[in-house]
Structure 1
Amino acid sequence: MIIKKLVLHNFRVFHGTHEIHLTPQNNSQHQKPIVLIGGLNGAGKTSILTAIRFALHGRLAFDGIHQTRDYLAHISALINHRADGTSSPAEANVELTFTYNKDGEESEFTVVRSWKRDAADRLALQQNGVPLKELNYEQCQGFLNELIPPGIADLFFFDGEKISALAEDSSGQLLKTAVKRLLGLDVIERLITDLSIFTKRQNSLQLEETEQLKLSEIEAECDRLRLSIEQFRFSADLAKNRLDFIAGDIRKLEGTLAAQGGAFALSKNQEQLVIEELLKEKAVLERNLRHECEGSLAYGLAPKTMRTLLRQLDGESESKSVTNFSEQLGLFLEKFKEGLKSSPEKIQTTIKEMMESQLNNYFSSKPSTEILLDISDRETGIINHAITHEAKQSWDRFHIAKGRLAEIERALEDGARNIERAPDDQQLLNLFTKIRDLDKKRATAYDEYEHLLKNIKLTIVKQLDCERKIRKLHDSVRSNHGSTTAVSNASVTISMLKDYAEALTAARVKKLEKNFSDAYSRLARKDDLKITARISPDTFDVELIDQQKNVLNRKALSAGEKQIYAVAVLDALAKTSGRQLPVIIDTPLGRLDSVHRQNLVDNYFPFASHQVILLSTDTEVGETYFSKHLSSYVSHSYQIEFDSNNLSTRILPGYFWSYAGGLN
């Protein structure tokens, strides 16, 4: 398949008609598969990808849209709002021309999808310039779905968000879904279902009249239950919308309440209680500080003076000891001299002189301090302990209490400001009342929503029970009347299809594992983990295996490894599908570092397919990447520019700078 041309008319940011020629212009020397389309964010790159997918697949191009009214609202939003004139209804269309080779024969198809605001889209299809008028809308869409199945197209037409979602999918659910679509099991399952319906219809013809009547009643009940389920679901959607609207109104009122000081009002009473506790603690601290000031704290106010006082007290104590000793010694000497009187006078004189000389030497070595304070040793000990121990402990307690008092003062100031900010209760009473009423409505709406969900579950159970009864009747017919040839063939075919699905799954899974390993090794950096994939053919669970055969947790991969892993998965899925489709990638490099980007530019873009349409910003594929890595593979390029004055985008040849390649 080659996409030759895309025409946009009043589509999203594209006002008027715009043609984009997309056929790669290869030369004889080198294949140039890349068509590069550059644009800043918001210029309309994603609109091009959306237009191609919408042209091909209609409603199936959009995820999460199931109801017709949602689809009509969505496609109405795709119309450029400048196209809404007053004299004619707003209308838009997209036209896609592509070639497709089927059964060895190449044909050119042109798809034109047009629609008006709040109306269903119309679809026209041409083959080799001839309109296929015999096909209605459903047949045209079915034909396109057969050519390019939506599930397969998702593997070739994707954007950076799909890469990111696949990279961050720790459960592996997205990959399992992609593998199932790739294998085409949905087609086999649909065929099995159709054959099962055929066998049931054939069996019903063999029922007796009473059994047919019973079967008709059960089938009618089954249809009624199916309709009830749809009605319950519709009502549940409405209830959910009401619930969302009420929640939105509550959020708005809560925002208004917060803007008017509601948060302070809610905490006003709490602030007042906290302030009361702080004031009590403040009074206790102030009393403790006064107690410290009245006690030993004063000794620490003049440490030098206190040291001088202690030296004076120590000196006086020692001087007193010397004086007391001298007095006692004097009394002793007087008695000693009385005892010497019986000795010769010369001996008395010699002893007295020796004693006086020794005593003078002894007392002259003792310090002499003037007695100023004259306090007892007990009082000196009390003062010494107070200065050296109690004063330090008192200072420590004083500083702790002082610091806590400062914290309390700041907390009291903050609390006072918060109370001042709080509006009067009467001022917010109206808002509180509205919020309370809406809370009641929300509770009622939630109960209604839960009740509808329960009804849906109960009705589904009843429907399943009816279907079991229908199957039981058919089974009884087969056992009583045997099988016709057609029914027998259908049963055999169902068994064969199941075996075929199993064999196909095993073969494709092995090929997918190999393609992933090849793609990841080609795209990863040298220092990245070397990983392979292991896929269960029964459950489609996907495990990543490192070089040591350990199963990896996807969360353990770095951000760059996750992105490369996702691109490798998409490349492997595309290669395994066996389809020759173009690859369209929107903003592919936004979350990659420079080395991973270069690997992708060198080893993926030029070889992803025979036609690669890149939708990029100037920061993703910059001038360096283009000139050194991509230029030899680029067929031609476009630049899309958004005019904020006209709210429209225009398409120009070239790519951001002076280069203008391709179409001349």
Structure 2
Amino acid sequence: MILRKIILNNIGPYEGKNIFDLHTDERLNTILIGGKNGSGKTTFLNSVRLALYGPLAYKKKTVTPDYLKKIRSLINANAIKQQNDSLKEYENEFYIQIDFSIIENFKRINVSIIRSWTVEPSIKEKVSVIKEGVEVSEVEKDQFFSHLRTTFPPSLLELCFFDGEEISHLTDEDNLSQYLKVLSSKIFNLDLFQNLEQDMYAYLDQSSKSNEQTSLEQDEKEYEEALNQNIRSLEEVSSQIENTESEIEASTQRYNEAKNDFSLHGGIAYEERTKLQEQINEIEGNRKHINEKIKEFIANELPFFIAFPLLYKLVEQLKNEEEFHVSNILKNKIDKLPVNNIMSELGVDSSTSTEEKLKESLVSHLTQTEEVNIIHNASKTEAQQVYNLLSETNITRLNVIFSLIQENQELLSEVQSHKKKLKDNEESPEFANMIQSMEDYTRSISELEERLNALKNQENELKNEIEIFNKKYEKVKQQLYKIRKTKSSFEESQKIIHISQKFQQHQLRNKIKDIEYFSSKMFKELIRKKEFINHILIDPKTFQLSILDHTSERIDKDILSAGEKELLALSIIWGTIMSSKKELPLILDTLLGRLDNEHKHSIVTKLLPKFGVQNIVLSTDSEIDAKLYKDLQSTIANVYTLNYDSYNRKTEIEQHFFNLENEKVTK
């Protein structure tokens, strides 16, 4: 697995969208992330775990309330407050995205995992997996995570995370041996065989159960008798079902014959009578609706149709009154016009008589000179209502009402015809007997169908009981079979365990030789005492380490300084990774804090360039100074500094390392 990118959107102190570009290659295999304590380095590490494994990162098998509570505490508080203040929901406002590449079916593919959360009204998680730019289905997603947990389990990821305290802890010989044992098991996939052995041992731990055989044989006999009894009952019920179905078929046939005979003599069957009654009800409903419309017309509109000439005269009077009012207003305005000024502006000579003539001319052209008898003196709104009433009182509206009256007459004729047909049918005694006969057949068929349903329910219950007893019976038979084959199967299990252990020992011996070679080579390069050691030996059973000098004499490890012991632990880890030939991203947190400058220089220039295909180094400003940074620059693919803004309570990502190079634009 090679990490390509991680995006933190409103996670921990990372407010908004924050991107870490983690692309590396064989030459530039180091990502350097600087940050003081409390700047967000731990959140970065936890986000890698969380993005890849979700609940497993917190040792939970599924999404539980406790897991969601931890997620809630991880989400950026400022972003939650802003979302609450805006009273809006934002999709994927809180998420972690991790991009990486893995080998699948002998082919390298690019994968993105996006874990997003919504916090209102309650926190919920959504997970998406994108392969080569295409989001996979739910089934493919489950298969992918199952494969990921097998090939790159969370326990192996934890072994790829190192901090200064952990490396110091490994300087103790027993701790280093135990760590090497666990790492070898995970990195060489020997844990699969160990899990198999545990299952085998659990099987072997079972007693022979010979004392249970009598009890199991008694159970077998009881289950067999119960099975036979239920099978007999099932056969009887099945026979009753078959007879009942035959009776239903015969009654249905007699009913159809009576119905055909009834129809042949002109009778109306029950279904047809029901249909006719439904049609009558529907027609009566339509007539009621039409009558209401006609009544509404008579009450509200018909008087105006009757008094149409008066209505027309009323409109004419209102228009004349309105024009008269307008004319009076215009006369007043013309009378007050400054005609002298207007003519002067136009360059026309004026006199009193000319002005009067102009006003008289304007009055004659623009106003109504005839007197109008004011009757109504209506407002503009009232007049407009009368105009609208006249426009709606027209022949088209009358035609609509005439159509409704005609439709009502047609519906009345239709309903009368249907009622007569029903009445004639009910008054015939011959038809009444036929109807009674059909109703008797219908009632008989209904009773038979109820009986059939009860029998089928009884049949299902018997089948379920047979299935339950059959499972119990088969289980007892298998237990007896296992007891009878215990001796031979236990022997086979012991053989499998023996073969597994032999295989693991053989694999470990071969791999430990490689670890010894690579670890010795690296330790000799890192340590300042040249010609001090010749070889590192590792016991394949106990994983205890021994250091040999050039005379093959064992060196007392207690004479090593704390820094040299740390270099030894790092050399062993590097040797194990080299032996596995696996692509592993290594995250090193405050790795150099307890080393002197010479040993720091050795690690930076000799170990890190070879440590892995991808090294993510988290460091404080006191751990890597300007000189060490210069030594490390030749292997750096990308560099960041995490600056925590105490006032705004958020971390800014800047693309430099504590200003040891020219600052770049903040991401």
Distance 2:481 2:552 in 1: 50
Distance change >3 Å, CA 157–CA 477, structure 1 → 2: same
| Structure 1 residue 49: Cα displacement | 2.5
Determine if the alignment matches structure 1 residue 187 to structure 2 residue 197.
no
| Aligned-partner Cα distance in 2 for 1:605–1:76 | 37
Structure-2 change in CA distance of 1:588 and 1:102 (3 Å): same
| Counterpart pick for 1:632 among 634, 645, 662 | 634
1:478 matched to 2:485? The reply is: yes
Amino acid of the residue matched to residue 3 of structure 1? L
Tell me the CA shift for residue 57 of structure 1: 3.1
Secondary structure at 1:604 match in 2: helix
Partner amino acid for 1:111? Answer: I
- In the other structure, the counterpart of 1:167 is 171
Q: Are the equivalent residues in 1 in contact too, given 2:51–2:113 (CA < 8 A)?
A: yes
Counterpart Cα distance in 2 of 1:579 and 1:516: 16
Task: Work out whether residues 640 and 657 of structure 2, in 8 Å CA contact, stay in contact via their aligned partners in 1.
Answer: yes
Is the alpha carbon distance of 1:12 and 1:152 closer, same or farther for their aligned partners in structure 2, counting shifts above 3 Å?
same
Match for residue 652 of structure 1?
654
Match of 1:32 in 2: 28
User: Is the contact made by 1:2 and 1:611 (CA closer than 8 Å) also made in structure 2?
Assistant: yes
Of 500, 514, 517, the residue aligned with 1:514 is 517
DSSP 3-state at the match of 2:171 = helix
Cα distance between partner residues in 2 of 1:600 and 1:512: 19
Q: How does 1:445-460 map to 2 (within 5 A)?
A: none
Report if the CA contact (8 A) 2:51-2:114 is conserved. Answer: yes
RMSD of aligned Cα (Å): 4.3
Matches within 5 A, 1:204-603: 210-211=215-216, 476-478=483-485, 493-526=496-529, 530=533, 532-547=535-550, 549=552, 551=554, 554-603=557-606
Find out whether 1:134 has 2:126 as its counterpart: no
Per the normalisation by structure 1, the TM-score is 0.52
**1:287-314 Cα deviation digits (max 9, x unpaired):** xxxxxxxxxxxxxxxxxxxxxxxxxxxx
Cα shift at 1:599: 0.4
Q: How far apart are the structure 2 equivalents of 1:543 and 1:73? A: 48
Task: Tell me the TM-score normalized by structure 2.
Answer: 0.52
Partner of 2:100: helix, strand, or coil? strand
**1:592 aligns to what SS in structure 2?**
coil
Q: Is the 8 Å Cα contact of residues 155 and 570 (structure 1) preserved in structure 2?
A: no
Tell me if structure 2 keeps the 8 A contact 1:639–1:654: yes
1:609/1:177 CA distance change after superposition, 3 Å: closer
The correspondence for 1:45, drawn from 31, 35, 41, is 41
> Cα–Cα, structure 1 residues 478 and 554, in superposed 2: closer, same or farther, change >3 Å?
farther
Question: How many angstroms does 1:168 deviate by?
Answer: 4.1
1:94 and 2:96 are equivalent in the alignment:
yes
> How has the CA–CA distance of structure 1 residues 65 and 528 changed in structure 2, closer, same or farther, with 3 Å as cutoff?
farther
- 2:7 equivalent in structure 1: 7
Q: Distance in 2 between matches of 1:164 and 1:64?
A: 29
- Match in the other structure for 1:178: 183
Instruction: Report SS of the residue matched to 2:541.
Output: coil
Rounded Cα–Cα distance in structure 2 between residues aligned with 1:663 and 1:645: 18
Give the match's secondary structure for 2:9: strand
| Unmatched 5+ stretches in structure 1 | 216-471
Q: Counterpart of 1:158 in 2: which secondary structure? A: strand
Question: For the residues of structure 1 that align with 2:491 and 2:128, how far apart are their CA atoms?
Answer: 41
CA distance in 2, matches of 1:506, 1:213: 53
1:156 aligns with 2:160: yes
CA 1:519–1:70 in 2, change beyond 3 Å: closer, same or farther? farther
* Structure 2 unmatched runs, 5+: 221-478
Deviations 1:241-279 (A, max 9, x none): xxxxxxxxxxxxxxxxxxxxxxxxxxxxxxxxxxxxxxx
Structure 1 equivalent of residue 51 of structure 2: 55
Distance 1:132 1:7, change over 3 A: same
Equivalent-residue separation in structure 2 for 1:134 and 1:10 (angstroms)? 26
Change (3 A) 1:195 1:130: farther
2 CA distance for matches of 1:523 and 1:18? 37
Retained in 2: the 8 A contact 1:637–1:654?
Answer: yes
Kept in 2: contact 1:122–1:137 (CA 8 A): no
In the superposition, relative to structure 1, how do residues 166 and 508 fare at CA in structure 2: closer, same or farther (>3 Å)?
Answer: same
Residues 170 and 555 in structure 1, CA contact (< 8 A), matched pair in contact too: no
How many residue pairs match? The answer is: 399
Q: Name the structure 2 match of 1:144.
A: 148
2:116 and 2:125 in contact (8 A); partners too: yes
| CA drift at 1:648 | 0.9
- Asked whether the 8 Å contact 2:531–2:550 carries over to 1, the reply is no
**2: distance between equivalents of 1:141 and 1:7?**
20
Q: Report the Cα distance in structure 2 between the residues aligned to 1:649 and 1:157, rounded to whole angstroms.
A: 22
Aligned counterparts of 1:147 and 1:18: Cα–Cα separation in 2:
29
**Letter matched to residue 45 of structure 2:** L
Amino acid at match of 2:14: F
Q: CA deviation at 1:641?
A: 1.1
Contact 2:173 2:544 in 1 (8 A): no
Separation of aligned partners in 2, 1:5 and 1:509: 34
Q: Distance in 1 between matches of 2:201 and 2:74?
A: 41
On the 8 A contact 2:31/2:617 being kept in 1, the answer is: yes
Give the superposition deviation at 1:517: 1.0
Shift of residue 547 of structure 1?
5.0
